[in-house]
Chains A and B, each alone.
Chain A
Amino acid sequence: MPQQVTRLDRVVIRFAGDSGDGMQLTGDRFTQESAVFGNDLMTLPNFPAEIRAPQGTIPGVSSFQVHFADHDILTAGDAPDVLVAMNPAALKANLGDLPKGATIIVDTHDFTSRNLAKAGYDADPLTNGELDAFQLHRIDLTGLTVEAVKEFGLSRKDAARAKNMFALGLLSWLYGRPTETTVGFLERRFARAPQIRDANIKAFTTGWNFGETTEVFAVRYEVAPAPQAPGTYRNITGNLALAHGLVAASVRSGLPLFLGSYPITPASDILHELSKHKGLGVTTFQAEDEIAGIGAALGAAYAGSLGVTTTSGPGIALKSESIGLAVALELPLIVVNVQRGGPSTGLPTKTEQADLLQAMFGRNGEAPVPIVAPSTPSDCFSAALEAARIAITYRTPVMLLSDGYLANGSEPWRIPDVADLPAIDPGFATEPNHGETFWPYLRDESTLARPWAIPGTPGLEHRIGGLEKGDGHGNISYDPANHELMVHTRAAKVERIADSLAPLDVDDPSGEAHVLVVGWGSTYGPIAAGIRSVREAGHEVAQLHLRHLNPLPRDLGDILKRYQRVLVPEMNLGQLSLLLRASYLVDAVGLNVVRGLPLTSAAVADAIEELME
């Protein structure tokens, strides 16, 4: 029977299984295939903090969601159209997210009474009618895989481990994905273990053929490529884009990159990535703790490197005193916070954006720090460059606020030409600036930045420190008027950054909207998708997304005043709202969700419609 092909404009698939089932790899491969095929896409990995939680239990479930489409999309999707569940726990943990009518593919092999009990099922959901509202496909993925790879003589356990590739092959067939990249990937990945390599490739192709030759699926789907601007593309996660952005800033400033870091989820991948690029002059220092990480980065900055430290919220808490020192020393430093759920250890592998006020105010004294936030995974690249520009130009620590969703989520990225990237001038001081002597706190009139005089420069010997410095000469000063002047000057310097920012770009096509939605960081996608659906329903609504949280752009106040209502969706309890209310006396209304997951576009749309009534 020739299979019917149905054309879809977009699909959301969630692969779910045990932590050891290779679901992240499966999802990542499906994503690469879709990217190479030319779909627009976004991904949402979701995994437990435990490396291997007890097998078969709900806490051990790991999932990877990919949304791919024939048009540009903004989120990883509110709800999956297809769930691949490798065991009962994966089914139970994810079923609640599925709309009625969704497709479920289960590996029946793992639906034993023991596994059902571990997942908390009293009865088998595959047979008791519980899934009648869904299109359920029961397939013995494990059994079919073991049978398919028999010829390679693997142990049963090793053979069964290839089941994720069988599932990937089946889904690749179902959605007409190209298979070459995955075969090539498996060849490279298991080059040193030919049996494992061949078994995985066999499982993958058998999965594909299973779809082709059996009649389990009556319909095959097609999601056409999305129109994209000409260029070379790759799929990229936020952490990778951020790491590459830091390297780019190093190259474009001519400064060697020095990363001082302590491993912490979800920021460690930046340390891993940068550690690979010594050939680009990158030095990485895995410190004894968070404090030493930033301390060494600050020392390297003092010595003339592009100093960077990477961490997540708990690490920022430990680094706060050193950030304050960097404020006082007025040295360039990039502090990356890949935010996760808090407080305390909180939700290490889940996303949140509740560290904005920590970035803003989390230091003793008046210690202003510029804040830059990327809005999508690939945007982490240019946000890192922007953080470096501000840090170097204004001689200041800069907080770069990413989050767990951006860090691990991915999307296609048009690779920029290196020559098109902004150049950054370190502008080291080379000679005395006050007669025959050198004054380390004599400022540039336009930026208020102080000179960056690195050791080894004759005639510029000087001392700096955390004690209050006298204006200009920089020697210790306890003079009341001087302290007041210095506090105001440090604040004014950070405010001056706003002079260098482009006018804000408000998305208000008709200019008729009364409601403005203001966001920052990773909520860009869900907000834009929510707005899209509100507009499709025939309503006017405007969107403004902030990249710079400190200083706030100069035109922001006027823009806010143009709208009757201002909605601020955030994955916190209203931190940007608080700042906007305090800064502009605007009656900002919050949409505040802290579930450790990205906002849904539906929640944003509902909140907008509520505000319109």
Chain B
Amino acid sequence: MSTRFGAGLELVPSSSEPQTGKDYTSDQEVRWCPGCGDYAVLKAVQSFLPDLELRRENIVFVSGIGCSSRFPYYLDTFGMHSIHGRAPAIATGIATARPDLSVWVVTGDGDALSIGGNHLIHVLRRNVNMTILLFNNRIYGLTKGQYSPTSEPGKVTKSTPVGSIDHPFNPVSLALGAEATFVARTIDSDRRHLTSVLSAAAAHRGTALVEIYQNCPIFNDGAFDDVKGAEGGDHLLRLEPGVEVTAGGRTWQHDPHAVDPSDQFAVSRIEDRVPVGIFRQVQRATYDDQAREQVSVAVATSTSSREDRLAALLNTGDTWAVV
């Protein structure tokens, strides 16, 4: 068992072999555009995974469709590059079937919030054990530059030549509204912050949603420049437990552990600065733990073999014998 990462990974076997980022690098050539924010996230994840001290074969990355969804190909773990928007559903099956796996979903703003929006909110409310990395570049990259559900109103793209009239989602607000138990935001270029948020997410038992601001240098370059670099820090609100936050004329100390999500939601709506860090981190029974519990309780009610139980099942109801 990993000692550093308790609840979230407590059922995943740990590795006694020392690991490095290289152990998590697959033999596949990385094919994102030069300057893509995905590189930084990949590097951070590859460097961070050894810290979990898990057996590599017990880690599964599942993705949907989009630039970021190529992520699993570049990690030397088990991985599935699935179909558009469905990664949370597939990961739900994996996590429910196997308590001994560390399950990760890699998705983007289109994949998670548009075509896969339904699966995202349902996995959050169910609280299935997995960590979701939502790469938000506020644009459709792989389909070459249409607006996304997080694009700002008025955005001019190939499909909105006179400006987008869609009102965007705030992914953090959405996740809090779906009663997610762990919600955080970080930035591709801030390696230290990214790693600390990922660590907390991995340690969380339940669904952890991490929104990662990620730059698309081709179709939406500079989308997050305001919060990057030397001056960017002034525009950030770095959330820590107890940090003072002001919104709607009210000031309070941020508490990610508060069960009532109202204040955390209010933090997610702050507009004069961009909050990053952990908005919410609470414990609630997970779907997969409970599903397995129901099965194991039922299995424990009988000492007979599966074959005998099957025979009993087939013989239920009104039966009659013909001799």
The interface of chain A, by Cβ under 8 A from chain B, is: 32, 35-36, 38, 181, 228-236, 244, 247-248, 251, 256, 258, 260, 277-283, 285, 287-289, 291-292, 295-305, 307, 321-322, 324-325, 329, 415-419, 455-467, 475-476
Q: Is the CB of A285 within 8 A of B322?
A: no
User: How far does the Cβ of B88 sit from chain A's closest Cβ, in whole Å?
Assistant: 8
24 CB contacts below 8 A, A to B, read A36-B320, A229-B322, A232-B322, A233-B320, A234-B319, A278-B294, A279-B299, A279-B301, A280-B310, A281-B295, A283-B97, A287-B122, A288-B122, A299-B91, A415-B315, A415-B319, A418-B311, A456-B58, A458-B57, A461-B56, A461-B78, A466-B65, A466-B81, A475-B73
Q: For residue B314, which residues in chain A have a CB less than 8 angstroms away from its CB?
A: 244, 248, 415-416, 418
Say whether, besides A279-B302, A460-B57, A464-B79, A303 and B317 are in contact (CB < 8 Å).
Answer: no
Q: Which residues between 264 and 323 of chain B lie within 8 Å of chain A, taking CB atoms?
A: 291-292, 294-295, 297-299, 301-302, 306-311, 313-323
Question: B89 near A: Cβ within 8 Å?
Answer: yes
Chain B contact residue count (CB 8 A cutoff): 64
Q: For residue A305, which residues in chain B have a CB less than 8 angstroms away from its CB?
A: 93, 97
Q: Is the CB of A302 within 8 A of B96?
A: no
**Pick the contact of A244 from B93, B119, B313 — CB < 8 Å?**
B313
CA distance A277 to B56 in the complex (A): 34
CA distance A415 to B315 in the complex (A): 7
**Pick the contact of B72 from A228, A256, A418, A463 — CB < 8 Å?**
A463
**Pick the contact of A455 from B78, B83, B86, B322 — CB < 8 Å?**
B78
Apart from A299-B89, A456-B58: 16 A-B pairs, beta carbons within 8 A = A35-B318, A235-B318, A244-B314, A248-B314, A251-B310, A279-B309, A287-B89, A291-B86, A299-B90, A299-B91, A299-B97, A303-B60, A322-B83, A463-B73, A463-B75, A467-B81
**Pick the contact of A233 from B291, B292, B321 — CB < 8 Å?**
B321
Q: Is the CB of A302 within 8 A of B92?
A: no
CA distance A382 to B69 in the complex (A): 40
Q: Is the CB of B73 within 8 A of A465?
A: yes
User: How far does the Cβ of A184 sit from chain B's closest Cβ, in whole Å?
Assistant: 8
Q: Is the CB of A464 within 8 A of B81?
A: yes
Question: B166 near A: Cβ within 8 Å?
Answer: no
Q: For residue A256, which residues in chain B have a CB less than 8 angstroms away from its CB?
A: 97
User: How far does the Cβ of B30 sit from chain A's closest Cβ, in whole Å?
Assistant: 12
**Pick the contact of A281 from B81, B118, B306, B311 — CB < 8 Å?**
B306
Closest 9 CB pairs of A and B: A299-B93, A465-B81, A295-B89, A296-B93, A278-B298, A292-B89, A299-B90, A300-B93, A463-B79
Question: B246 near A: Cβ within 8 Å?
Answer: no
Q: Is the CB of B321 within 8 A of A232?
A: yes
Instruction: Tell me the interface secondary structure of chain A in the complex.
Output: mixed
User: How far does the Cβ of A557 sit from chain B's closest Cβ, in whole Å?
Assistant: 36
CA distance A247 to B306 in the complex (A): 10
CA distance A495 to B318 in the complex (A): 42
CA distance A299 to B94 in the complex (A): 5
Q: Is the CB of B79 within 8 A of A280?
A: no
Q: Is the CB of B318 within 8 A of A32?
A: yes
Question: B28 near A: Cβ within 8 Å?
Answer: yes
Q: Is the CB of A285 within 8 A of B76?
A: no
Q: Is the CB of A418 within 8 A of B310?
A: yes
Say whether, besides A38-B320, A230-B322, A278-B299, A455 and B60 are in contact (CB < 8 Å).
Answer: yes
User: How far does the Cβ of B252 sit from chain A's closest Cβ, in whole Å?
Assistant: 34
Residue of B nearest to A181 (CB): B318
User: How far does the Cβ of A442 sit from chain B's closest Cβ, in whole Å?
Assistant: 16
User: How far does the Cβ of B313 sit from chain A's closest Cβ, in whole Å?
Assistant: 6
**Pick the contact of A322 from B65, B86, B98, B100 — CB < 8 Å?**
B86
Q: For residue A475, which residues in chain B have a CB less than 8 angstroms away from its CB?
A: 28, 73
Q: For residue B122, which residues in chain A have a CB less than 8 angstroms away from its CB?
A: 287-288, 292
CA distance A260 to B93 in the complex (A): 8
Q: Is the CB of A281 within 8 A of B299?
A: yes
Q: Which of A282, A325, A458, A461 has the most CB of B within 10 A?
A: A461
**Pick the contact of B322 from A181, A233, A277, A457 — CB < 8 Å?**
A233
Q: Is the CB of A461 within 8 A of B82?
A: no
